């Protein structure tokens, strides 16, 4: 049996049980790493050889750990920084590792996966905010760029300008003055469609309000956004209640 960490020589001989215990040990270390808890790779390797992986070499276990990193990398999941993905791995073994990772609940790591979709990103951030994030995340020096197709609404500039002009520098939600002067030298407020365009709301002055950024975000993201919306209808006389047709998917319009 080879002791070279780069050698996949004994790969076919690994049983499902051996792979499963290796994956279990790997995930335990990965969770520790993601949560900022210290762990000792050499000690884990020793324990495996003293127990369920008796007969395996240190190097072959290390190589398996790197195979697991490769499978996680392929699944776009986080992996242990100290085990660089070793991708010279048979596809059968890789499939087996992926299946075993799923069986051991690797999906719980999905919240750590970078995404180009704003709504998925905010879901993942909310999820991660409830966990203990011990370490400073590695992040990315040059984030990947993807092209995504989106649909958007054609908006009437006169409606927006009229709503801003009639607000006269005061938020129609809270009554406070615009928080700062915009690049155009005018009071900065944002125009929000009370019945969202995505719910078939109209792009008319009777469905649009000028809000400070706080009130605008409140309309989209706050727990009390429905109550706040009702308050807007009461506060701004020109608004006309429209009938929704689709769910507001919180796209910021």
Q: Which residues bind Zn ion (CB under 5 A)?
A: 171, 173-174, 192, 212, 215
Closest distance of CB 212 from Zn ion, Å: 3
Closest distance of CB 162 from Zn ion, Å: 17
**Strand ranges in 48-196 using DSSP code E only, listed in sequence order:** 190-193
Which two tokens mark 197? 């365009």
Closest distance of CB 177 from Zn ion, Å: 9
- Between 65 and 215, CB nearer to Zn ion: 215
Closest distance of CB 117 from Zn ion, Å: 19
**Ordered alpha helix ranges (H), 38-90:** 41-50, 58-74
Asked if 22 and 65 count as a contact pair (C-beta separation under 8 A), the reply is yes
- Between 86 and 209, CB nearer to Zn ion: 209
Q: How far apart are CA 21 and CA 80, in angstroms?
A: 16
Q: How far apart are CA 32 and CA 184, in angstroms?
A: 50
Q: How far apart are CA 158 and CA 141, in angstroms?
A: 41
Exposed e or buried b per residue across 152-169, where buried means at least 16 C-beta atoms within 10 angstroms of its C-beta: eeeeeeebbebbbeebee
Closest distance of CB 188 from Zn ion, Å: 12
The burial class, CB within 10 Å (0-12 / 13-18 / 19+), for 63 is buried
Closest distance of CB 221 from Zn ion, Å: 10
**Strand ranges in 118-240 using DSSP code E only, listed in sequence order:** 190-193, 208-211
**Strand ranges in 85-179 using DSSP code E only, listed in sequence order:** none
């Amino acid at each position: 049996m080879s002791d070279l960490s780069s050698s996949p020589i004994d790969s076919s001989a690994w049983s499902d049980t051996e792979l499963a215990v290796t994956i279990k040990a790997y995930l335990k270390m990965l969770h520790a790493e993601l949560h900022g808890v210290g762990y000792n790779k050499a000690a884990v390797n020793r324990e495996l050889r003293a127990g369920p992986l008796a007969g395996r070499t240190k190097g072959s276990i290390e190589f398996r750990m790197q195979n697991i990193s490769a499978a996680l990398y392929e699944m776009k999941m986080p992996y242990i920084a100290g085990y660089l993905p070793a991708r010279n791995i048979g596809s059968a073994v890789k499939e087996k590792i992926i299946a075993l990772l799923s069986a051991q609940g690797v999906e719980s790591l999905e919240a750590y996966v970078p995404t180009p979709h704003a709504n998925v990103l905010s879901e993942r951030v909310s999820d991660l905010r409830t966990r203990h994030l011990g370490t400073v995340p590695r992040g990315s020096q040059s984030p990947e760029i993807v092209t995504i197709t989106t649909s958007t609404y054609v908006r009437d500039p006169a409606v927006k300008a009229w709503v801003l002009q009639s607000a006269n520098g005061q938020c129609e939600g809270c009554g406070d003055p615009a928080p700062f002067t915009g690049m155009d030298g005018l009071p900065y407020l944002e125009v929000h469609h009370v019945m969202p365009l995505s719910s078939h709301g109209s792009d008319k002055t009777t469905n649009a309000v000028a809000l400070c950024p706080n009130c605008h975000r409140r309309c989209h993201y706050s727990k009390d956004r429905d109550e706040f919306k009702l308050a807007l209808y009461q506060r701004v006389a020109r608004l006309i209640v429209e009938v929704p047709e689709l769910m507001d998917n919180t796209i910021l319009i």
